[in-house]
């Protein structure tokens, strides 16, 4: 069987930046084993597969696989999937915003397509309301620092807690005091996997961040480490949503009824990424979290499966 795929860069301001993604617009009839094998073959952090959905309002059902497993929620894969689906189906685009949805493992997810001149200029996905776990104990923070190739002081000096926050995917958020320390972090994945598993078994992504940034307009500079795949991810939309919710909850940024945050990522991989997060607060509680960015078409091909 021949199956077509489309390659895009997500959260990118230019080609060869952001997070590379392969999208298969028609994955109907492929078994889980084949989907996993394709994702391994494509050699990206994740690969997106579009299937028919019977859920009212959903344009498609989205399944996302890393090189080693299926992942329940991946922000950049959802945005790339909708960008490709709109192009493949000739979706009628309404300016300035076209609203679409897809079926994920946890139901319906809404996506906004920002449209100008008949072209999609940005996509934004609404994530789940944040679920926040307890702070990591000091002894565990010391283990975590060693596993990340940091000194304990480089985490403790921030006076901010290490926590797991989920807006669809549990993410361990690790504050780091300086840009230099974060850029020099060199994780030992075996140790890191053990520390994360002992603290929160279902957390598979470590998102280390600092408030020192390259761009003065950014709120944070981040690096994402996948402890299962033992690899760094250039841009992580689910993690950016969790971080934005964390920064607002901890009052680590100026909080407004609608707080807009820019998060930098991917520079350590020479794939600079820009993620735009929005957190809405109502009656003192977070009422909405969304993350967006640009998607750039890179090419297409056919795979024999």
Q: What is the pLDDT of residues 8-19, one digit of tens each?
A: 999 999 999 999
Quote the pTM value: 0.92
Burial 127-160 (b: 16+ CB within 10 A, else e): bbebebeeebeeeebbbbbebbebeeebbbebeb
pLDDT confidence tier of residue 174, bands split at 50, 70 and 90 = very high
Mean pLDDT over residues 51-69, rounded?
Answer: 95
Percent of the chain scoring above 70 in pLDDT: 100
CA distance 242 to 217: 19
pLDDT confidence tier of residue 214, bands split at 50, 70 and 90 = very high
Report the CATH superfamily, name and number, of domain 2-129+294-304: Diaminopimelate Epimerase; Chain A, domain 1 (3.10.310.10)
Give the sign of the dihedral formed by CA 279, CA 111, CA 114, CA 169.
Answer: positive
Entry field: residues in the chain: 305
Choosing among 3.10.310.10, 3.30.70.980, 1.25.40.80, 3.40.50.2000, the CATH entry for 131-289 is 3.10.310.10
* Residue 19: strand pairing partners: 10
Mean pLDDT over residues 64-77, rounded?
Answer: 91
User: Residue 72: what pLDDT?
Assistant: 87
Chain centroid to CA 207: how far?
10
- For residue 64, pLDDT beyond 90: yes
- For residue 74, pLDDT beyond 90: no
User: Residue 73: what pLDDT?
Assistant: 86
Domain 2-129+294-304 identical in fold to domain 131-289: yes
Alpha helices in 125-278 (DSSP H): 138-148, 152-156, 179-184, 189-199, 237-249
Are the CB atoms for 146 and 191 separated by under 8 Å? yes
Computed over every residue of the chain, the mean pLDDT equals 96
User: Residue 235: what pLDDT?
Assistant: 95
- For residue 2, pLDDT beyond 90: yes
């Amino acid at each position: 069987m021949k199956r077509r795929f489309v390659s895009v860069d997500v959260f990118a301001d230019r080609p060869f930046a952001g997070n590379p993604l392969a999208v298969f617009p028609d994955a109907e009839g492929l078994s889980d084993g084949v989907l996993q094998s394709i994702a391994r073959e494509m050699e990206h952090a994740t690969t997106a597969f579009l299937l028919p959905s019977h859920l009212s309002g959903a344009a498609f059902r989205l399944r996302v696989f890393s090189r080693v497993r299926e992942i329940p929620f991946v922000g950049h894969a959802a945005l790339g999937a909708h960008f490709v689906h709109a192009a493949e189906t000739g979706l009628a685009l309404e300016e300035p915003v076209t609203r679409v949805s897809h079926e994920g493992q946890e139901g319906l997810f809404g996506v906004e397509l920002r449209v100008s001149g008949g072209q999609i200029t940005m996509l934004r996905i609404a994530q789940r309301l944040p679920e926040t776990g307890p702070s990591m104990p000091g002894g565990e923070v010391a283990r975590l620092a060693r596993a990340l190739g940091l000194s304990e002081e480089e985490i403790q000096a921030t006076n901010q807690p290490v926590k797991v926050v989920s807006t669809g995917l549990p993410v361990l958020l690790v504050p780091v005091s300086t840009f230099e320390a974060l850029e020099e972090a060199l994780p030992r994945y075996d140790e890191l996997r053990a520390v994360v598993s002992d603290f929160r078994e279902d957390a598979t992504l470590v998102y280390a961040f600092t408030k020192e940034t390259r761009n003065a307009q950014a709120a944070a500079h981040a690096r994402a480490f996948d402890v299962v795949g033992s690899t760094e991810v250039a841009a992580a939309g689910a993690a950016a949503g969790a971080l934005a919710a964390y920064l607002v909850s901890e009052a680590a940024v100026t909080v407004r009824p609608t707080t807009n945050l820019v998060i930098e990522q991917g520079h350590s991989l020479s794939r600079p990424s820009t993620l735009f997060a929005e957190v809405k607060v109502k009656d003192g509680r977070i009422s909405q979290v969304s993350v967006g960015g640009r998607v750039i078409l890179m090419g297409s091909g056919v795979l024999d499966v």
